[in-house]
């Protein structure tokens, strides 16, 4: 390991061991029967570990894949820090940390869209409009969801408009320009990664609107269940999504793709 790498690893280690202690609430302790709190804790640590992993594995892949791994690491880093705060809100008040969740989504969801753009850019020239469509679609989805969930807008209207924006994003990655660029240019390894990522955006992401529907519109799930479901969904949509990208980056870099 050269000196720069050693410095990077050391800085990452210091940052990650320091971060949690910043967020520990003085008056709150995790109870052994607080399963929602425990799930917040587990996921925050898994996110920290994933971040270190993605940043270090960046050294292993070809330069055209490095930015993808950086972005995967940023997604899990941003989520980890939010999870420290969300865990504290939950443990000390028993309330759902809606604002932190949406702030987290507002940063991580566009970054996940950047991943679609980057994976296509690694194989072909991609017009910037593809990126803007994905960015604007996901941003609208979240803004309407937030307005509905926090009472600034009718709950049903927020849901319908947010879902319409999500369907638009799905159209773009399956049938729109992004989907076509993939179908025309990608190697088998990239195609299979792209298609797994699409299924995550379809089925993994569907968990959040279903939670919104059941929690806010039908009142059929309680806050405990909803938080556990959202926490597990984040493992799939942030960590597993990053691992798919890591896998294709390593496969393509090592020339095993043919």
Ligand X SMILES: *C/C=C(C)/C=C/C=C(C)/C=C/C1=C(C)CCCC1(C)C
Name the residues that contact ligand X, by CB under 6 A: 105, 108-109, 112, 141-142, 144-145, 159, 162-163, 166, 205, 208-209, 212, 234, 237-238
- Closest approach of ligand X to the CB of residue 207, in Å: 8
Output the smallest distance, CB 169 to ligand X, in A. 9
Between CA 41 and CA 167 the distance in angstroms is 32
Least distance from C-beta 89 to ligand X, angstroms? 17
Sign of CA dihedral 209, 214, 219, 222: negative
Q: Which is nearer to ligand X, 85 or 252 (CB)?
A: 85
Minimal distance in Å, beta carbon 142 to ligand X? Answer: 5
Of residues 90 and 144, the one with the C-beta less far from ligand X: 144
Question: Could you tell me if 199 and 170 are in contact, meaning their C-beta atoms sit under 8 angstroms apart?
Answer: no
Smallest gap from residue 212 Cβ to ligand X (A): 4
Task: Report, in Å, the least distance between residue 257 CB and ligand X.
Answer: 27
Indicate the residue among 77 and 123 with the shorter CB distance to ligand X: 77
Query: Judged by CB, which is closer to ligand X: 123, or 142?
Result: 142
Residue whose Cβ sits closest to ligand X: 145
Whole-number Å distance between alpha carbons of 40 and 97: 11
**DSSP letter at 61?**
S
Let me know the angle formed at the C-alpha of 221 by 215 and 222, rounded to the nearest 5 degrees: 95
What residues contact residue 192 under an 8 Å CB cut-off, 6+ apart? 248
Structure-derived torsion over alpha carbons of residues 237, 179, 139, 58, reported in degrees to the nearest 10: 50
Is the Cβ–Cβ distance between 175 and 185 less than 8 Å?
A: no
Q: Which is nearer to ligand X, 86 or 123 (CB)?
A: 86
Q: What are phi and psi of 25, to 5 degrees?
A: -75, 135
Residue number with CB closer to ligand X (88 or 234): 234
């Amino acid at each position: 390991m050269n000196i720069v790498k050693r410095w990077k690893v050391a800085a990452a280690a210091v940052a990650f061991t320091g971060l949690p202690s910043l967020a520990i609430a003085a008056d709150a302790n995790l109870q052994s029967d607080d399963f929602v709190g425990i799930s917040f804790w587990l996921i925050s640590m898994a996110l920290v570990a994933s971040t270190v992993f993605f940043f270090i594995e960046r050294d292993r892949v070809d330069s055209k894949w490095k930015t993808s791994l950086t972005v995967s690491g940023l997604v899990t880093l941003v989520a980890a820090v939010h999870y420290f705060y969300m865990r504290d809100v939950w443990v000390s008040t028993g309330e759902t940390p809606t604002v932190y969740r949406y702030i987290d989504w507002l940063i991580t969801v566009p970054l996940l869209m950047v991943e679609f753009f980057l994976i296509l850019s690694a194989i072909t020239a991609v017009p910037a409009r593809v990126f803007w469509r994905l960015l604007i679609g996901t941003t609208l989805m979240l803004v309407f969801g937030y307005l509905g969930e926090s009472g600034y807008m009718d709950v049903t209207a927020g849901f319908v408009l947010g879902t319409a924006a999500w369907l638009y994003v799905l159209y773009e990655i399956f049938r729109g320009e992004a989907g076509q660029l993939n179908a025309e240019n990608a190697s088998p390894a990239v195609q299979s990664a792209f298609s797994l990522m699409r299924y995550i955006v379809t089925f993994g992401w569907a968990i959040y609107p279903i939670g919104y529907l059941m929690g806010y519109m039908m009142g059929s799930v309680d806050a405990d269940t909803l938080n556990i479901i959202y926490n597990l969904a984040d493992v799939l949509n942030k960590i597993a999504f990053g691992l798919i990208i890591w896998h294709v980056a390593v496969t393509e870099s090592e020339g095993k793709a043919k």
